[in-house]
Amino acid sequence: MLAVVSLVAVVALVVLYAVAGVLAVATGRIVPWQRGYVLRPRLWGSGALMFGAGMGLARYGGTVRDLTTSDVVFACSLLMLIGGGALQYVGQRVGGHRA
């Protein structure tokens, strides 16, 4: 039961990040709760897409049975999470204050 709840939660977060990322990359618009903080929406959206993909890959890595493959999948997902977070951070305003 806990695995199903975890899967639903991760899928919901990945979809939220994907929608926010596609919206920012395609149109240059930002989700309402981030509007005052983001200076470069396309860069922030690319980071959101990468971060969401990293979360999905990390969740998938838990289902892999082979230990070597699992280690590689988790390492790739960690790099995607760090890279996506860094892109989102770079896309925000200096100091993180609202405009």
Are the CB atoms for 44 and 17 separated by under 8 Å? Answer: no
Q: What tens digit of pLDDT does each residue of 32-77 get?
A: 888 888 999 999 999 999 999 999 999 888 888 888 888 999 999 9
Are the CB atoms for 20 and 48 separated by under 8 Å? Answer: yes
Question: Where along the chain do its domains lie?
Answer: 2-96
- Whether residue 9 is predicted with pLDDT greater than 80 in this model: the reply is yes
What pLDDT, on a 0 to 100 scale, did the predictor assign at position 20? Answer: 93
Strand ranges (E), the chain: none
List the beta bridge partners of residue 92. 38
pTM for this model (two decimals): 0.86
* CA gyration radius, the chain: 15
What pLDDT, on a 0 to 100 scale, did the predictor assign at position 90? Answer: 93
List the beta bridge partners of residue 38. 92
Percent of the chain with pLDDT over 70: 95
